[in-house]
Chain A
Amino acid sequence: MAKPLKMLIVDDSNIIRRKIERGHDATKFEVVGSASSGKEAVEKFQSLNPDVVTMDLTMPQMDGIECISRLVALKPEVRILVVSALSDKATGIAALEKGAQGFLCKPFDDQKLSVALNELVG
């Protein structure tokens, strides 16, 4: 069996971070850390070196769009799933242009999370 991919969860909501922690497929992903802002995410990214990141967009200190750019600059092959309530197409396109590969709109259930994560790394 392949080794689980290291995952970093970035969201300013503790509830959403824990929902993703509970809802992900543990055979495919290992949660190595979480961050509540873009700034904290960049710091943790450098020490934890994750393969996959779930990324909120509306966050204090540094928003998700800027954070995506920073993370992709550090590791171009990182797979980033945006998990956001911002549901307009332009926001999704902006995130993809910065280097994200997937978009999951809040609110979401475990099934939608699973599908989105599998598509991200599929």
Chain B
Amino acid sequence: MSEQTLQVFINGVVNYFQHTSDKEVKVGTPYLIENSAPSAFDYTGIIGVSGPYRGTVYFTAPKALLTHLLLALGEKDTSIDNILDLVGEVANTISGNARSEFGQEFMISVPVVVEGAPSGIHLPKHLRSYVIPVYWKAYSAAVVICLEN
């Protein structure tokens, strides 16, 4: 995957958090992991990608970050249902925004949300994933990109 491709998703993460009441977000240096040991926090929103790129984009975050993010968005209901909704919506927004660079052939699915890590259903074992670390307030999260073309 090219540096430019990764940058599209990095821009998407930064753009997302800049629309919250606490805009200070930092993105770490991306690194590669094996799909047999996916990177995951408490909750994960997964987007399937098809078209010129095929694979998965997911956003994974601890419960505390998602709770705080709900409040930063003005949402007082921090129930698990809303936390799951939010982690899927962040994944959807970052992936959807990527179409401004990749075009309409970059097709994305509705989000699938899970507790913990994506399963083998979502991640092809023969590929590796790029992890983009995300630091917001005192929390760590990640956007993980597993795409082939």
Contact = CB atoms under 8 A, between A and B. Distances in A.
A106 B73 contact: no
B67 interface: no
Interface residues of A, number: 25
Describe B's contact surface by its main secondary structure: helix
B99 A91 contact: yes
A13 B89 contact: yes
Contact of B75 (A19, A85, A94): A19
B103 A107 contact: no
Interface centre among A60, A84, A106, by most chain B C-beta atoms within 10 angstroms, is A106
A118 interface: no
Contact of A88 (B15, B19, B82, B104): B104
Contact of A22 (B74, B102, B104, B108): B74
Given A15-B89, A19-B73, A88 B103 contact: yes
Nearest to B89: A13
Contact of A18 (B75, B88, B94, B103): B75
Contacts, number: 67
Given A19-B75, A88-B100, A108-B19, A12 B81 contact: no
A14 B81 contact: yes
Given A58-B108, A88-B100, A14 B19 contact: no
Given A59-B110, A109-B19, A87 B89 contact: no
A84 B73 contact: no
Interface in A36-92: 58-60, 84-91
Contact of B73 (A12, A15, A59, A94): A15
A96 interface: no
Interface of B: 15-16, 19, 70, 73-75, 77, 81-82, 85-86, 88-89, 92-97, 99-100, 102-104, 106, 108-110
